[in-house]
Structure 1
Amino acid sequence: MPAFTNHQHQFAQDVMARSGANNFCLFLFSARPEQAGVHFFCHYGMSAQIKTVYSQRLWAHDPFLNYIKQQGANTQATVLDRGQFDGDDSQGDSYWSYINRVGYRDIVSVIHPYTPEIFLVGGLMGQDRGREYGEISASHSVIDDIDNFVGEAATELMSSLIAPILSAAPVATAVGQGLSLSPRERDVVKALQAGYGNKQIAAALSLSEYTIENHFKRLFRKFSVHNRTALLAAVQQLGLL
């Protein structure tokens, strides 16, 4: 995935601050037997040692990952927190033993599925570092923001993977298909390309979120696509950005 923009770095740290968490991570989880494992894209506040231990072996005992692996890909993102697993001794003993030892008190995860075996996972963690630590505030606004952040990262990752494939295909022209972007549509798509969510696009363009949603609906119809990843791929292939 391309490096995070300054906006994305600032946004992730702002969500951490508002939630009370002092760790945030984003990683790709593959449950495919021949390629099982995790790949981190960022790990704010998480020590390199914890990241290494988790990447090498701990992920296989993570009840969050085992849960979503059993559920498979759904049409909507999944939000899980530590309270849903505490007290369940049927799995994850080694995971909880390590997590408790390094001081993780609270965990909230948002999972966006690509396929029944591939997931993008964002996690907020509250780590006790020798001081009194309050619970993570998993308010609706925090969950919505972290959900949007993970969803936008998922879109950007998929777009970066699709782009080389599309560049090798015969190039269609926007003129040939009678397609174009209005100045306002171009502003919206450029903001999407920069990693902004609806709320941030609305603020940047001084429009309502309702108006931004309508812009996307019209753009989806115009370019015969069903999601933002496909929209970005289409306008890039047509040379409209």
Structure 2
Amino acid sequence: MIKVDRKALDKTIDSMNLFPETKKAVAEYKENANLLDQRETMLKEQMAVIQKKHTENLMNQQVITDISELIYLKKQAKELVYETNVINSLLEELSEERTAVKLKYVPIFQQAIEDDRRSRPDYHVNQMVELIRWELVKAVADLSQAMQTQQKEVSAIHEVMNDPTVKVQYPRIEYMLNTKVQPVYSESFDTVLSRYHMFAARDGQIPSDIKRPMKEGK
């Protein structure tokens, strides 16, 4: 019956760009971080290959009988351990490099966030809330007034219903006369919309006691 026109709001949401400078800084940071991630992936993949070789080497040492082959396996095992230590060292350096990159971008992010804050418009919703509240109350009042107007148009029946003889013969007629025609409204809450509801909405949350209607009333 009553709907909020969201066209202007949806247009504002679609065109909203609150963090242009921060997005640029984040994209630049991600580019650097991705290079480190790729290097880390390559090192870990190489580590997995070496560990597999090392495991196979140790198993072969247990069953080998040829001395020269055993010497070769022992030498290979030492080389594999050395390579493992080198990769672990590179991973530690990579971790330090990652920390250094993060520290580098902290002031960059701070400046970007501040630049966005200064250029970002404020989105005041008080006027929107006041307008919707007014439209809601006015719509219900208009509906009620229209119903009362139509009830008054048939007020001539009072001339008949208020007759003493009629009342004696139809004792419940007075109840019918006093029945006021008005919109049906039932609500368990003290307020239709409270500050709590608006503060929750401001934080991007819909309070649990605010439910979307299952179907529109007729």
- Taking structure 2 as the reference length, the TM-score comes to 0.20
- Taking structure 1 as the reference length, the TM-score comes to 0.19
Higher helix share: 2
